[in-house]
Amino acid sequence: MDYRKRIIAAYREQAAKRGFSRVTIDDLVELTGISKRTIYRYFSSKDEIVESVVVDFLTNVSQEIEAALDPAGSPVDQISNVIRVITGNTKLVEPLFLYDLNKYYPHLWERIEQFRAERVQKVFERFFDSGGQEFFRETHPEIFTTALLASIRAVVNPKFIIENQLRTEDTIESLFNIFLYGIVKK
């Protein structure tokens, strides 16, 4: 693994446990065995490392989501696969990771919000446009995706998760279960 990837991986691992604000360059030196001078050869600042961690994370999640959208599966299977990808990736991070990102790096949090919005829109448009009528109730796609995005922003956010002592992956699963199956027992 090259230095840049090692630095990003070590920072992400520590930020997932302790939050972005608590990880220092000295921590990275200790964890990776890479000197400060070398770290600064690859990154001009801690902020650049944080941005690289977020970009790397979003790139990986995006690739996994695309793989989960296997056209051989039904739309319901595809949605389940996407939810598994998302929850699998969020298991790697504590709510503090997200909280710190939101608080100390709002421009990166906005990037995550934009990523989530684009992916949700793309995934569900794909289902509504590609004959998902046999699997889904008739609904207005824009209303569904707008309501889902508003719910994601309200519920799958660090403040809500921490205040309610929830786990991120449980929050995501519950939210999608409500949207996909409702709350009424049959």
| CATH code, 125 | 1.10.357
Q: What average pLDDT does the chain have? A: 87
DSSP codes joined into one string, the chain: --HHHHHHHHHHHHHHHH-GGG--HHHHHHHH---HHHHHHH-SSHHHHHHHHHHHHHHHHHHHHHHH--TTS-HHHHHHHHHHHHHHHHTTS-HHHHHHHHHH-HHHHHHHHHHHHHHHHHHHHHHHHTTGGGTS----HHHHHHHHHHHHHHHSSHHHHHHTT--HHHHHHHHHHHHHH-S---
Q: What is the mean pLDDT of residues 95-117?
A: 89
Structural domain contains residue 141: yes
According to the model, what pLDDT value does residue 64 have?
92
Question: What is the reported pLDDT for 19?
Answer: 85
Measured CA to CA, the distance from residue 21 to residue 88 in angstroms comes to: 24
Return d(Cα 97, Cα 94) in angstroms, integer.
Answer: 5
Query: For residue 92, what pLDDT is reported?
Result: 66
**Is 6 among the domain residues?**
no
| Count of domains forming the chain | 1
pLDDT at 177 over 70: yes
Residue 64 lies inside a defined structural domain of this protein? yes
Confidence of residue 1 (pLDDT cuts 50, 70, 90): low
H/E/C letters for each residue in 156-171? Answer: CCHHHHHHCCCCHHHH
Residue 51 in this model has a pLDDT that exceeds 90: yes
Residue 43 lies in a domain: no
Distances (CA, A) of 44 to 12, 37, 126: 17, 10, 40
Could you tell me if residue 70 is inside a domain?
Answer: yes
* Highest-pLDDT range among 25-39, 62-76, 114-128: 25-39
- Residue 42 belongs to some domain of the structure: no
Domain that holds residue 122: 52-181
Of 68 and 133, the one with more pLDDT: 68
With respect to residue 113, please indicate whether it lies within any of the assigned structural domains. yes
Task: Report if residue 156 sits inside a domain.
Answer: yes
Whole-number pLDDT of residue 132: 60
What does the pLDDT read at residue 83?
Answer: 87
**Residue type at 25 in one-letter notation:** I
- Is the model's pLDDT at 154 over the cut of 70? yes
